[in-house]
């Protein structure tokens, strides 16, 4: 009788809960392709092609097995408008369904996730691109300033990050040595990561004696402008399991946008990252203590600390304790060593996925975009 009862319950579950079962479907990363980052002089679609090809080879797949392409990158960061025109075919988009997110490509991963989660598509090629050597980044980013309040101030992109660094430093009494230590550690890790752009190790003295670039940031505390592409192949659960014996699952996603007006914000906190992380943790059903590794988009050493705090690894102003603890943050070297504007966040997410493949159970990646980290997206990956 008990068996009969269970059968009825099972029958009801299977037949009535079909839709919710579909909604519970997971989405996994089954292919990873990262190009070298640095200055690329050949036609840039070749670099995009290289990343896509590597991801397909990694997944042991052919182009025709992809049913849609989601691109991520900025027009200004590659020096031409509608930049998905030349990256789409390179990413395998010929006669396929294709869309482009015009922000850090970490957002492209989120859109690809939704396209698969909805059941509309099965397998997506996510490709992020950044070609900073094509254009004077500082100048074109000045054009993002609105013509009434910000533009006449001539605040460069890096200046907005320096303003945040200064605010954070002042509020929490962070000294030069702490910031220098973040750079030293980042460079050390990048020296061991084949895809990183700047891989020369530096000492704290070298950082502290480097030229003052934008107060309080010294030259060695600024990220490089890099060229490179990252491709990830995402697939719905059942297909992912056929493609790969160990897919890296997308467990949580959250993104958030802060006030555009710099004067209306608390610059000493990464509020958009904090809100994005809350959403991602909620979706993944976990919190910071369940996470084994992090990749944060540290456009300055101070942002390294602020991001760790926003992600919940430390209370405000105490991010340096996470650094000292040896918790694995930015095994890739982070944005301080590789920064292809438009795909820096996806580069970090892909680097995190590689770490999950290497044995970590769960990791978190955060990316920022816009002046003074106006926008942020947080991705949680796991096994």
367 binds other proteins (CB under 8 A): no
Contacts of 72 (CB under 8 A, 6+ apart): 100, 101, 102, 103, 104, 105, 106, 107, 108, 109, 126, 127, 128, 129, 342, 343, 346
Nearer Cβ to other proteins (91/186): 91
238 binds other proteins (CB under 8 A): no
Burial of 295 (0-12, 13-18, 19+ CB in 10 A): buried
Nearer Cβ to other proteins (238/325): 238
Instruction: Answer whether 92's CB lies under 8 Å from 56's CB.
Output: yes
Nearer Cβ to other proteins (144/210): 144
Nearer Cβ to other proteins (9/139): 139
CB of 178 to other proteins, least distance (A): 30
113 binds other proteins (CB under 8 A): yes
144 binds other proteins (CB under 8 A): yes
Axis crossing angle, helix 301-310 with helix 176-190, rounded to the nearest 10? 90
66 binds other proteins (CB under 8 A): no
DSSP for 173-237 reads T--HHHHHHHHHHHHHHHTT-TT-S------HHHHHHSPEEETTEEGGGSPPP-EEEEEEEEEEH
Strand partners, 235: 28, 123
282 binds other proteins (CB under 8 A): no
CB of 1 to other proteins, least distance (A): 37
Contact window for other proteins (CB under 8 A) among 105-113, 125-133, 158-166, 284-292: 105-113
Burial of 204 (0-12, 13-18, 19+ CB in 10 A): middle
145 binds other proteins (CB under 8 A): yes
Site for other proteins in 336-355 (CB under 8 A): none
Q: Give the DSSP H or E segment for 366.
A: strand 362-369
255 binds other proteins (CB under 8 A): yes
Burial of 134 (0-12, 13-18, 19+ CB in 10 A): middle
257 binds other proteins (CB under 8 A): yes
381 binds other proteins (CB under 8 A): no
129 binds other proteins (CB under 8 A): no
CB of 344 to other proteins, least distance (A): 15
45 binds other proteins (CB under 8 A): yes
Place of tokens 């859109």: 111
CB of 328 to other proteins, least distance (A): 28
Helix (H, G, I), strand (E, B) or coil at 20: helix
Instruction: Answer whether 180's CB lies under 8 Å from 202's CB.
Output: no
Site map (CB under 8 A) of other proteins, residues 203-222, x = contact: --------------------
From 6, 9, 82, 153, residue interacting with other proteins (rule: CB under 8 A): 82
Instruction: Answer whether 310's CB lies under 8 Å from 274's CB.
Output: yes
Nearer Cβ to other proteins (76/180): 76
Cα–Cα dist 91/70, whole Å? 9
Q: Which residue in 95, 196, 114, 144 sits closest to 371, CA to CA?
A: 144
22 binds other proteins (CB under 8 A): yes
Place of tokens 């089954």: 30
Nearer Cβ to other proteins (83/165): 83
Nearer Cβ to other proteins (86/166): 86
Nearer Cβ to other proteins (15/264): 264
From 79, 312, 317, 328, residue interacting with other proteins (rule: CB under 8 A): 79
Site map (CB under 8 A) of other proteins, residues 84-103, x = contact: xxx-xx---xxxxxxxxxxx
Instruction: Return the half-sphere exposure (C-beta side, CA atoms, 13 A cut-off) of residue 166.
Output: 12
Instruction: Answer whether 37's CB lies under 8 Å from 190's CB.
Output: no
Contact window for other proteins (CB under 8 A) among 118-126, 181-189, 195-203, 236-244: 118-126
Binding site for other proteins (CB under 8 A): 22-23, 43, 45, 69, 74-76, 79-86, 88-89, 93-103, 107, 110-111, 113-115, 117-120, 140-141, 143-148, 253-261, 279, 283, 370-371, 374-375
């Amino acid at each position: 009788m008990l068996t009969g009862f269970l059968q009825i319950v099972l029958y009801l579950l299977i037949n009535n809960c079909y839709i919710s079962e579909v909604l519970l479907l997971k989405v996994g990363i089954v292919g990873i392709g990262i190009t070298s980052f640095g200055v690329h002089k050949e036609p840039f679609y070749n670099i995009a092609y290289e990343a896509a090809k590597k991801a397909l080879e990694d997944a042991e797949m052919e182009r025709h097995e992809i049913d849609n392409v989601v691109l991520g990158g900025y027009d200004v960061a590659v020096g031409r408008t509608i930049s998905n025109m030349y990256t789409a075919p390179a990413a395998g988009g010929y006669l396929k369904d294709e869309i482009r997110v015009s922000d850090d490509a970490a957002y492209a991963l989120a859109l690809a996730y939704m396209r698969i989660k909805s059941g509309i598509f099965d397998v997506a090629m996510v490709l992020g691109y950044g070609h900073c050597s094509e254009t004077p980044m500082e100048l074109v980013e000045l054009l993002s300033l609105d013509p009434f309040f910000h533009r006449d101030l001539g605040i460069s992109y890096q200046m907005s990050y320096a303003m945040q660094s200064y605010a954070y430093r002042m509020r929490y009494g962070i000294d030069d040595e702490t910031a220098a230590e973040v750079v030293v550690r980042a460079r050390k890790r990048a020296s061991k990561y084949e895809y990183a752009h700047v891989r020369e190790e530096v000492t704290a003295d070298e950082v502290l004696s480097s030229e003052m670039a934008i107060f309080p940031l010294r030259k060695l505390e600024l990220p490089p402008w890099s060229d490179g592409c990252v491709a990830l192949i995402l697939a719905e659960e059942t297909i992912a399991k056929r493609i790969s014996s160990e897919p890296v699952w997308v467990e949580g996603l959250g993104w958030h946008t802060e006030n555009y007006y710099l004067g209306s914000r608390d610059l000493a906190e990464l509020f958009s990252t904090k809100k994005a992380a809350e959403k991602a943790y909620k979706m993944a059903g976990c919190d910071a203590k369940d996470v084994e590794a992090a990749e944060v988009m540290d456009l300055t050493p101070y942002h390294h600390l602020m991001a760790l705090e926003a992600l919940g690894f430390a209370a405000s102003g105490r991010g340096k304790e996470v650094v000292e603890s040896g918790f694995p943050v930015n095994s890739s070297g982070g944005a301080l060593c590789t920064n292809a504007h438009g795909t820096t966040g996806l580069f970090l997410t892909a680097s995190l996925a590689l770490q999950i493949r290497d044995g970590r159970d769960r990791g978190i990646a955060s990316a920022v975009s816009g002046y003074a980290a106006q926008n942020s997206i947080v991705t949680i990956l796991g096994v």
